[in-house]
Structure 1
Amino acid sequence: MGSHRRPKPPSRARIATLGMAAGAVSLLPTQSQAAPKPTVDEVRKEVERLYEEAEAPTEEYNAIREKQKKLQREADRAKDRLARKQQEINELREKIGPLAAAQYRSGGIDPSVQLFLSSDPDDYLGQAEMLDRTSSRQAEALEAMRRKQRELTQEREAAQKQLKALEETRAKAARTKDEVQDRLAKARKLLNSLTAAQRARMEADQERDDAAAGASDSPATYNGPASGRAKVALDFAYAQLGKPYEWGATGPDSYDCSGLVGASWRAAGVSLPRTVKQMYDAGRKVARSDLQPGDIIYWYNDTQHNGMYVGNGKAIHAPRTGKNIEIVPLDSMPFFAASRP
């Protein structure tokens, strides 16, 4: 396995003025010495860098969203438990009412006075026994209600903690989303600074480079050596060729890198975790020399980017914003590891 690791991008991209980066501005600029507009190639390189920097926080966002969904389910269950406990307490309270009334009717008088008032000792003893049973049932009901009240208080405290954790996760997801959107907005701004002719030239250069590297996003059908579930997963992935990359997306119209891998294997009946890191941690590692079609490929490191091996030294992946799902040579990016679902 290779040990290529890309430096972790800064939490917020700080883009130097491209003209200055190119050394195009004198040390003492005047009003008549405005920085020249960046060249098409400079814009392209900077856009690529911004898109790549958006990948790590995209995967972080995916992980936070998964945690948020889990916390939401827990909070919903806690609310259901609270409602049930409250209903049980209400039912106990209703039971205690008639018991208290019965005690008042038969037991509101001191037993010794009641004996004098009773003309029949057997009648008195019967009333005393009923009173004892009523008091006992009422005591049990009160104890049950107190126990339920204690449980309700504990449930409420647990639910409040879960809701607080959910709110914190929502806030973190929003911050991470802003981080990704910040990079994408800067990339769009750079692209919009080009003329139509410059953009056309940049796209043509990109297509030329992709062709030279052996990349293709043209619709195709998988006809490699995979079988069983791996073939089903690759058939699905190939059917997505040409669909756009979109951060945080899991299909069916667009995907991010781990979204495509997860959806492909899900089509084969295999449930994978959501993010690149989670897939790497959960998967059975395989050596590069033992790669089989359908294996998950990790490039750069264990957290940033993945795809699926298709055989013949190539892989299918959802590359980055602005590009479509494509087939590329395995070494078009630094190979890090592989795992088998």
Structure 2
Amino acid sequence: MGSGKRGLITAAVAVVCAVTVLTTPGTAFADPGPTPAPTVTVTPDKDLEAVRDQLDRLYREAAAATDAYNAAEEQAEQQSAQVVELAKKIVEGQEELDDLEARAAASARAQYRTGGLPDEAKLMLSDDPQEFLDGAGRVLQGQRATKGLLGEMKRAHAALKTYAADASEQWEQLEANRAAKAAARKTVEQRIAAAEKLESELEKEEKERLARLEREAAQRAQSAWLDSGVLDGIGEEATERGEKAVRYATAQIGKPYVWGAEGPESFDCSGLTSQAWASAGQGIPRTSQEQWRQLERVAVEDMRPGDLIIYFDDASHVGMYVGDGKVVHAPRPGRTVTVAGAGTMPILGVVRPGE
């Protein structure tokens, strides 16, 4: 085997090993670059409404970055599998090409042993007509075999080239998604740390007042939503799969929110909804943004238990409608999976995973 071929196989094996390293949990990578740290400020009189607004902003930014992290992770997993498969095809293709070249070499050696005369010349020197005809048949068979062998070698070369190009492209995309994942992770951690620092600066009484303000704001939003009549005449009949998804989601109540988690001990918002529908036999996108983009959209007044309510203009949060104007969702870091009023957050729209 030539050095070029050995290099190709070596490179393919190295690709498999490298992908394994890239997808190993806990693998450390270079810092993707500085991310501006969020500004954390508390007004001198600790205006709790301002603090609440700031916390909401930080946690929403963390949620958006979590969605970006989850999307990059999902794409990286898919690309890792594709790169590994292409690497295997490169190795197999090189082995096939080696075999074809060995057969071609054997044919050339056989011709050399017979004196190097082409079969056509040998026929011209024959005195036996039958031998001539028999030889002519063998010549045609040999020509066809040689042509077929050359054709196979050409095809194998082309396939090998294509596999190598595809592997290179997938590898570049994998590296790009790895960098995006690392950057998103850093943003999530920064925003959560900033929010936790802000909360830690509050006194016990202030934390209690802040919690009360949050409850009051949620109640006002829910009341306004219900008073709009949006649920008047809404059906509460779920499909069989919808019921299964709701049962799964509500069974997770009390489990902690952990960004990037999809169970079974902890969840982020879209990890909860995607796993709930997976338990019902219906695969859906991993992130809230992709759930909004890919799933069937339905009017709020037409929603039913099991449908997903997407929140905020950037589709950075999702909850599952469970009926009676409520959703089950994983709110944010420091909270647990809970049931809340469906109108307590700005609704972008409703999507339906399946019939």
Distance 2:288 2:274 in 1: 10
Aligned to 2:333: 321
Cα contact 2:111–2:117 (8 A) shared by 1: no
Aligned to 1:283: 295
Q: TM-score, normalised by structure 2?
A: 0.73
Aligned residue for 1:250, secondary structure, equals coil
Q: 1:299 aligns with which of 311, 314, 331?
A: 311
Structure 2 regions of 5+ residues with no counterpart?
1-34, 221-235
Q: Indicate yes or no: 2:26 matched with 1:14.
A: no
Aligned to 2:70: 62
Deviation at 1:189, TM superposition (A): 3.2
Aligned residue for 1:331, secondary structure, equals coil
Deviation at 1:147, TM superposition (A): 2.9
Q: TM-score, normalised by structure 1?
A: 0.76
Distance 2:339 2:119 in 1: 93
Aligned to 2:263: 251
Aligned to 1:53: 61
Cα contact 2:93–2:160 (8 A) shared by 1: yes
5 Å-filtered alignment, 1:143-154, equals 143-154=151-162
Q: Output one character per residue of 1:44-92: Cα deviation in whole Å (capped at 9) or x when no partner.
A: 5533331122111211222222222222222222222212211211221
Letter in 1 for 2:89: R
- Among all aligned residue pairs of Structure 1 and Structure 2, give the percentage whose two residues are the same amino acid: 34
Q: Indicate yes or no: 2:168 matched with 1:160.
A: yes
Q: Indicate yes or no: 2:195 matched with 1:187.
A: yes
Distance 1:306 1:264 in 2: 13
Aligned to 2:32: none
Cα contact 1:50–1:184 (8 A) shared by 2: yes
Change (3 A) 1:301 1:44: closer
Distance 2:129 2:309 in 1: 89
Deviation at 1:286, TM superposition (A): 2.2
Distance 2:181 2:166 in 1: 23
Cα contact 1:99–1:134 (8 A) shared by 2: no
Q: Indicate yes or no: 2:79 matched with 1:71.
A: yes
Structure 1 regions of 5+ residues with no counterpart?
1-10, 25-35, 216-223
Q: Indicate yes or no: 2:352 matched with 1:333.
A: no
Aligned residue for 1:261, secondary structure, equals helix
Greater C-alpha Rg: 1
Cα contact 2:285–2:291 (8 A) shared by 1: yes
Q: Indicate yes or no: 2:247 matched with 1:235.
A: yes
Superposition RMSD on alpha carbons, in Å?
Answer: 3.3
Aligned to 1:8: none
Letter in 1 for 2:88: D
